[in-house]
Amino acid sequence: MQYSAEVQNMCPISRGPQHASSPIPVEGRWVSPKDVIAISGVSHGVGTCAPQQGAAKLTLNVKDGIIEEALIETIGCSGMTHSAAMASEIITGKTILEALNTDLVCDAINVAMREIFLQYVYGRTQTAFSLDGLPIGAGLEDLGKGLRSQIGTHYGTREKGPRYMEMAEGYVTKLALDDNDEIIGYSFVNLGKMMEFIGKGTSAEEAMEQASGQYGRFDEAVRTIDPRHQ
């Protein structure tokens, strides 16, 4: 190691107590990390691209510093979906430090990686206080039945009011309105369940019926409308 002449000419002064790094919670244990292998846990990070026309949510399951599982969900940008497909092949097997310094194809995914890295190093993961964390495969639990991302799509104008198009339950087929033309419920099709039924040999018509449901006071509606065409 090289020192400047100014430093070489300084007299040595003893330092005080050698403080260790602050302990952080890691899967139910307090750890003072010095190396990346001390980091484990499940956490999430969200990032956007430069024009912010799309966003990516990154979920990682890290064990002993290694990314064992990755879930990448995107919205708002068609190109980002292809970038996420590539990133899902790139990211697993790397340490979180390697992943932070790897081009994950899309700006939004890179930003999500930066944000999730902070969750890990500051002890803010989802499993910070969960003993031994979660098993590999836990990322799929975020997706629900049919392994589809939970996406909400809603639209509104001052002139025509709101439209619910996609809710947690699924694809909205009808909105229920009361006598004030206010939304009091909706009917939906859970596309994940529907495709599972079809995959098991059920006809498309029957599968759609089995995967359909209602929410709210749908049966009390004065009238119903198609939110996409009315």
**Which residue is associated with the tokens 């092949």?**
89
Contacts of 39 (CB under 8 A, 6+ apart): 26, 33, 62, 64, 65, 96, 120, 121
Backbone φ and ψ of 215, nearest 5°: -135, 145
- How far is 63 from 74, CA to CA, in rounded Å? 24
- How far is 146 from 171, CA to CA, in rounded Å? 13
Average confidence (pLDDT) over 118-140 = 94
The pTM assigned to this predicted structure is: 0.85
Domain that holds residue 180: 153-225
Residues 119 and 173 in one domain: no
From 110, 138, 166, give the residue that closes a domain.
138
Could you tell me the two tokens for 115?
């944000």
pLDDT band at 173 (very low <50, low <70, confident <90, very high): very high
**Residue 175, domain member (yes or no):** yes
Residue 155 clears pLDDT 90, i.e. is over it: yes
Average confidence (pLDDT) over 76-104 = 92
Per-residue model confidence (pLDDT) at position 113: 94
Per-residue model confidence (pLDDT) at position 146: 79
Greater confidence (101 vs 144) lies with 101
Residue 201 clears pLDDT 80, i.e. is over it: yes
> What is the residue-averaged pLDDT of the chain?
93
From 138, 164, 181, give the residue that closes a domain.
138
DSSP state for residue 12 in the 8-state scheme:
P
Residue 145 clears pLDDT 80, i.e. is over it: no
**Residue 125, domain member (yes or no):** yes
**Residue 16, domain member (yes or no):** no
- How far is 52 from 46, CA to CA, in rounded Å? 12
Q: What is the pLDDT of residues 22-45, one digit of tens each?
A: 899 999 999 988 899 999 999 999
Contacts of 177 (CB under 8 A, 6+ apart): 183, 184, 221, 222, 223, 224, 225
Backbone φ and ψ of 166, nearest 5°: -145, 125
Residues 87 and 157 in one domain: no
Contacts of 201 (CB under 8 A, 6+ apart): none
Per-residue exposure over 203-219, b if at least 16 CB sit within 10 Å of its own CB, e if not: eeeebbeebbebbeebe
How many domains does the chain fold into? 2
- How far is 191 from 147, CA to CA, in rounded Å? 10
Backbone φ and ψ of 3, nearest 5°: -125, 145
Per-residue model confidence (pLDDT) at position 58: 95
Please say whether the dihedral angle defined by the alpha carbons of residues 93, 94, 100 and 104, taken in this order, is positive or negative.
negative
Could you tell me the two tokens for 99?
């992943």
Residues 185 and 128 in one domain: no
DSSP reduced 3-state for 5:
helix
Average confidence (pLDDT) over 51-72 = 94
Query: Is 95 in contact with 113 (CB distance < 8 Å)?
Result: no
Please give the C-alpha separations between residue 72 and each of 39, 44, 163, in angstroms, as whole numbers.
Answer: 20, 10, 27
Residues 209 and 107 in one domain: no
Residues 103 and 161 in one domain: no
